[in-house]
């Protein structure tokens, strides 16, 4: 695993690491910072697919597709570690336990995607935004234990909208409502979850890093 993190590269906030439909063959591990991936539809609207945090692998679809199905852009200054996809081939051959773990992570991400699918298909604007806030806070806390109920949402309201399938205007209205309901407090970009239990209820939120069962994993070679 350490070998993947050899050649770190620093990126400024707002750097496009990969553009939709561009050809590519490199993968990355995100070591520091926050990024996102999105697609643009042909009416010009944007759907944010995923937020990316330290430890996440970026551009994994390079394993499969000639051209990128998504754009990846940094939301803060970031450190990434590029590696060639042939490394994955070698890893699968030589490190069964590690490749099993990659499959597990993939599976978790897939379930998280289906959660968002259900949120977009079947929940209200308020619930989707509540879920987003919880998700971001939880992901941030995984790499920064000092984060409690308050954190800086590094997203514009337009980005929140593009992630939740809403307009920036309506995001603003819902944030205000969540505040009036006493579920969150806001101060500039800083959000405090003042009633996390009720927020989680409003959001239908399930933390997919809980409830794992990994006894079947093969031993390390």
Partner DNA sequence: CGGTAAATTGACCTGGGTCAATAAATGTGG
Partner DNA sequence: CCACATTTATTGACCCAGGTCAATTTACCG
Q: Which residues contact DNA (rule: CB under 7 A)?
A: 124-126, 156-158, 165-170, 172-173, 175-176, 186, 188-189
Phi then psi for residue 75, to 5 deg, are -100, -20
The count of residues interacting with its own copies (CB under 8 A) is 58
Q: Are 48 and 163 in contact (CB under 8 A)?
A: yes
Question: In Å, what is the CA distance from 17 to each residue of 13, 56, 197?
Answer: 11, 14, 37
Does 36 engage in binding with its own copies (CB under 8 A)?
A: no
| Partner interacting with residue 157 (select from its own copies, DNA, none; CB below 5-8 Å by kind) | DNA
Smallest separation (angstroms) from DNA to the CB of 15: 14
Between 54 and 165, CB nearer to DNA = 165
Smallest separation (angstroms) from its own copies to the CB of 106: 5
Does 104 engage in binding with its own copies (CB under 8 A)?
A: yes
Phi then psi for residue 71, to 5 deg, are -100, 140
Does 1 engage in binding with its own copies (CB under 8 A)?
A: no
What the block records as the tokens of 35 is 């990024």
Q: In whole angstroms, give the CA distance from residue 188 to residue 142.
A: 23
| Partner interacting with residue 9 (select from DNA, its own copies, none; CB below 5-8 Å by kind) | none
Task: Classify residue 39 by its DSSP letter.
Answer: E
Which ranges of 95-180 does DSSP label H, i.e. alpha helix? 96-122, 125-143, 157-164, 168-180
Does 198 engage in binding with its own copies (CB under 8 A)?
A: no
List Cβ neighbours of 59 (8 Å cut-off, separation of 6 or more): 17, 18, 24, 26, 27, 28, 68, 72
With CB under 8 A as the contact rule, the residue among 8, 14, 89, 148 that binds its own copies is 89
With CB under 8 A as the contact rule, the residue among 26, 54, 76, 85 that binds its own copies is 85
Q: In whole angstroms, give the CA distance from residue 174 to residue 167.
A: 11
With CB under 8 A as the contact rule, the residue among 1, 6, 7, 86 that binds its own copies is 86
With CB under 8 A as the contact rule, the residue among 26, 77, 92, 149 that binds its own copies is 92
- By CB under 8 A, the residues from 116 to 155 that bind its own copies are 116-118, 120-123
């Amino acid at each position: 695993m350490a070998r993947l993190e050899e050649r770190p590269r620093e990126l400024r906030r707002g750097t496009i690491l990969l553009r939709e439909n561009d050809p590519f063959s490199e993968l990355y591990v995100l070591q520091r910072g926050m990024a996102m991936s999105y697609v643009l539809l042909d009416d010009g609207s944007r759907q944010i697919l995923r937020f990316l945090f330290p430890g996440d692998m970026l551009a994994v679809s390079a394993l499969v597709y000639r051209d990128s199905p998504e754009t990846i852009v940094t939301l803060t200054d970031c450190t990434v570690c590029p590696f060639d996809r042939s490394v994955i081939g070698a890893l699968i051959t030589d490190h069964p336990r590690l490749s099993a773990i990659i499959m597990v992570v993939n599976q978790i991400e897939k379930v998280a995607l289906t959660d968002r699918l259900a949120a977009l298909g079947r929940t209200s604007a308020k619930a989707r935004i509540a879920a987003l806030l919880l998700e971001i806070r939880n992901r941030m806390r995984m790499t920064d234990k000092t984060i409690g109920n308050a954190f800086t949402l590094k997203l514009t309201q337009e980005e929140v909208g593009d992630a939740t399938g809403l307009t920036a205007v309506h995001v603003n209205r819902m944030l205000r409502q969540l505040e009036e309901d006493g579920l969150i407090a806001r101060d500039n970009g800083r959000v405090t979850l003042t009633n996390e239990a009720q927020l989680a209820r409003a959001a239908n939120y399930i933390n997919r890093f809980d409830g794992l069962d990994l006894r079947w994993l093969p031993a390390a070679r």
